[in-house]
Amino acid sequence: MPPNRRQPPTVRLRRLAAELRRLRREAGLSQEDVAEKTNVNNVTLYRIETAKTKPQLRTLIALLDAYGATESERDSLIALQKEAKQRGWLHSFEADLPDQYTALISLEAEAQQAINYESLFIPGLLQTEDYARAVIQGVLPTAPETEVENFVAARMQRQALLESETPLRLWAIIDQAALCRTVGGKAVMRAQLDHLTRQAQRPNITVQVIPFSAGAHPGMPGSFIVLKFPLDDPDVIYIDSMAGDLFLEKESEIQLYNDICEHLRAIALSPTDTLALLASPHEDH
């Protein structure tokens, strides 16, 4: 993976930045005004307000004083500052996984909804352990066993999001090609399709398959995930490619991928027809 790929900020850090921008504007202060009041220079303030850096606690308190923040606002934002780089269960995996993959997991854990389009694989959140292991071994044929097992363990842990008290809402759109590729052998693939069928019937999971009969479509260039967050935090687009993983955060990019999602959902089989396809013999896929 290219070393200069920047990890996106955590959702907590993005929320903190947005709240500080809001408070400054409501106080009627320019960045230059803030610099005079707090001795926080314009460059530092810009980096804080764009979630490129986490403010030190004393800096945050100085900003909140300058903005006349209420006690509840102060308590909430100080808590966000302390949690801004929190990664939860992922901490034990971070040394063994690529930075961009750990960034995906962190953002995914904060998301309210994920729309995952896959052209060649069953989505990671819906994979069985045996299928996941076969996929990782196939994609990384020279990886040592310990690396493969770390990826498998992390992928299985990610799936807890679907069964939490407030579960992630997952909309999976899968090209029919992913159902036809026998990964790990017939028994592994049959078990995977059975698992996918069961998961597709959960209330927080929607699965649609794009049939071969749909012809060419906008998803053919590659897979992606659209992560949607609560409290109007902007979406993040994750793209996994041979050139390295990418995170897209520009408004125009987000709009483009949301438009693609709408198109793919429209040409895919309905959730009911998808279940019927999954229930048919593997050879018919």
Reported as a single tens digit per residue, the pLDDT across 97-120 is 777 788 788 889 889 999 999 999
What 8-state DSSP symbol labels residue 69? -
Average pLDDT, the chain: 89
Mean pLDDT for the stretch of residues 176-196 = 97
| Per-residue burial over 231-249, b = 16 or more CB atoms within 10 Å of its CB, e = otherwise | eebebbbbbbeeeebebbe
For residue 1, the model assigns a pLDDT of: 38
Cα angle value 42/48/49 (rounded, 5°): 85
Give 203-256 as a DSSP string: TTEEEEEE-GGG-S-TTTT--EEEEE-STTPPPEEEE--TT--EEE--HHHHHH
End-to-end Cα distance, the chain? 34
Least confident of 36-50, 94-108, 239-253: 94-108
Q: Do residues 239 and 248 touch, judged by C-beta distance below 8 A? A: yes
Q: Evaluate the CA torsion angle 153, 244, 224, 130 in order and state its sign.
A: negative
Mean pLDDT for the stretch of residues 133-153 = 95
For residue 186, the model assigns a pLDDT of: 95
Q: Give the domains, in start order, of the chain with CATH numbers.
A: 11-83 (1.10.260.40), 97-284 (3.30.870)
For the cut 50, the answer to whether the pLDDT of residue 2 exceeds it is no
Tokens 């102060």 locate to: 74
Closest CA to 157 of 225, 115, 108, 98: 108
- The model carries a pTM of 0.77
Q: Do residues 109 and 88 touch, judged by C-beta distance below 8 A? A: yes
Q: Do residues 214 and 173 touch, judged by C-beta distance below 8 A? A: no
